Amino acid sequence: MCKACQERGLTWNLGNYICAFSEDFSNNWRCATLENIRNISTDIQECDKQKYITLNISNVKLNNSSIGLSLWFTWYKQSGTIQGMFILDKNKLPRTPTEEELVEIVKYFKMAG
């Protein structure tokens, strides 16, 4: 379970959250780390009910190394499940981000915003 979910705890009366970092990333529901990323993205770009975004993360560093070129993800409506999330990078296969990478991305965009 991610640190953000542990700190937030249960705050919603329509069911428990499912942290993306518990077992299977694709089986997530209102994960606090993913909600932090989603909140940043809705400040940058607005879409219809089926939402998607590509964030430029080329300047985001973790341990003095670039995380990747971009973070792409999609979701339906404003809350719930992130349906797909991938870090894209030159000459590398798309991959699921780690909790540590997403925390750094959130920090970067909060400082830039």
Where are the domains positioned within the chain? 3-112
Distance CA 87, CA 7 (A): 25
Q: What share of the chain is helix, strand, coil (3-state, %, to 5)?
A: 30, 25, 45
Residue 53, pLDDT score: 86
Tell me the per-residue pLDDT of 47-101, one tens digit each, with 9 for 90 and over: 566 678 889 999 999 999 999 999 999 987 766 789 899 999 999 999 999 999 9
Higher-confidence residue: 2 or 53? 2
Give the mean pLDDT of the chain: 87
Distance CA 21, CA 34 (A): 10
Residue 84, pLDDT score: 92
Q: Mean pLDDT across the stretch 13-27?
A: 85
> Do 3 and 99 form a contact (C-beta atoms < 8 A)?
yes
pLDDT reading at 46 higher than 70: no
Residue 81, pLDDT score: 87
pLDDT reading at 12 higher than 70: no
> Taking the model in full, what pTM does it have?
0.88
